[in-house]
Amino acid sequence: MMRDFRDAKLMAKVLKQAFADRNTPLSHSEALEIVADQFGCEQWNILAAKIESGDKPAAVGSEGIGILPPIPIFRIFDVDKAMEFYCGFLGFEVDWEHRFGDNFPLYCQVSREDMLLHLSEHAGDATPGARCFVRVENAAKLQAELAAKNYRYMKPGLEKQPCGFEVGVIDPFNNRLTFCQQQGQNQEDNQTR
C-alpha cells in the first residue's frame, strides 16, 4: 500500500512499533523525524506545517511531474440504474456528461467529496466487474448513512478486516467499491462499537 504525506503521523507510529517489536527503542519524536526525512523535509515541524497547509512535499525523483490520484472508469449498461445507485444511494453528484450525439452511449463523471469516478456505456472503456478501493476517514458513518437510505438492492454492513474497517458495495453492473478506514485512522471512534 502506498502512503502519502498525510499519513505521516500514522507512519511514525507504525515505525515506532516496528522498532519496539525488534527490542530497539525509538521515541515518537525520533520516528517523526525519520518520516519527515523520508519526505525530503529537514525536520518534523516543516513536514507538519506542509500537512497543515495542504502543501504536498515533492516525492523523491518526481519533481515537476505532478502525478494526481487516478480516476477509475466503471462500465455501465443502464443510465437510470447507474444514477439511482451512484447519485441516489451513494450520494455522488454528476459533474458532467458527454455523448457524441443523440442516441449515443454516455460517458460522465460523478464525484463525492474528493472522489472522482467515470461511468461509461462505451464498449471497451472498462470491464464489468471491476473493483475500486477507496480510503475513507469514517467507515461507520458511511455505513450508517447508506443503511438509512434503505436502498432496495443493497444493505451494506461494516466489516472488520486486517487492514481496517470496510464497507463494500456492488453496483447494478457488478462493479465493486470497497470503502476502507485503514487501521490507525480514527480507530478510537470504532473501538467503542
pLDDT tens digits, one per residue of 21-31: 778 888 877 88
* CA pair distance 97, 108, nearest whole angstrom: 4
- 73-187 topology per CATH: 2,3-Dihydroxybiphenyl 1,2-Dioxygenase; domain 1 (3.10.180)
Tens digits of per-residue pLDDT, 57-78?
555 455 667 788 899 999 999 9
Give mean pLDDT, residues 50-54.
Answer: 71
Work out whether the CA dihedral 146, 149, 154, 156 comes out positive or negative.
positive
> Starting from the edge strand earliest in sequence, which strands make up the sheet with 164-170, in order?
131-135, 176-182, 164-170, 159-161
pLDDT of the residue at 190: 47
SS3 content of the chain, % helix, strand, coil (to 5): 35, 20, 45
Locate the domains of the chain by residue range: 5-53, 73-187
Tens digits of per-residue pLDDT, 108-162?
999 999 899 999 999 988 888 999 999 999 999 999 999 999 899 999 999 999 9
Q: Given a cut of 50, is residue 1 above it in pLDDT?
A: no
In the block, cell 516525492 appears at 59
Residue 54 falls in which region: left (phi positive, over 0), alpha (psi -120 to 50) or beta? left
